Amino acid sequence: MRRALLALALLLSLSGAAAGQSWPSERPPRPLEPHPVNFAHYELRTLPNGLNVVVVRQSEQPVISVRMLIRAGSAQDPASKPGVASMVAALLDQGTATRSASDIADAIDFMGGGLGLGAGTDLSYANTILLQSNSRRACSSSPT
């Protein structure tokens, strides 16, 4: 029995070594030449209140997209109060002193837009997208 097991092990090792020598039979293909990458033109601006803004213009779609990032996320939550950043982000569309949550949602819907709010580990965000034809109406609305 021992001899049979040794013979089987020797046979398997020889067949594995022979198979390993012929594979792979050809080399992998060479990488393609690099292509130039054209990044969209952008402008850096600072608003009077100190907020830094990056403006990227594109004209492929008739929409305006705005994303605001704040360097405060769940990593800055106090140890005794986990979830503060997520809670604050979730409350941003729940109304103001002069507009209810329903008023805010209706105004965004009326302009063909959407609003997203949230918080990650390192940042919180608010983003909106709306039809370009409604940009003047959105800019003239006074958020309170």
- Which residues, 6+ apart, have CB-to-CB distance to 131 below 8 Å? 62, 63, 64, 111, 112, 113
Digit-by-digit pLDDT tens for the chain (144 residues) are: 778 787 777 777 766 555 555 666 788 889 999 999 988 888 888 889 887 888 887 778 888 888 888 888 999 999 999 999 999 999 989 999 999 999 989 988 888 888 999 999 999 998 888 887 766 666 665 554
Whole-model pTM over 0.95: no
- Which residues, listed in sequence order, are joined to residue 55 by a DSSP beta bridge? 43
Residue 72's nearest CA partner among 84, 90, 80 is 84
Domain boundaries in the chain? 42-140
| Domain at 42-140, CATH homologous superfamily | Metalloenzyme, LuxS/M16 peptidase-like (3.30.830.10)
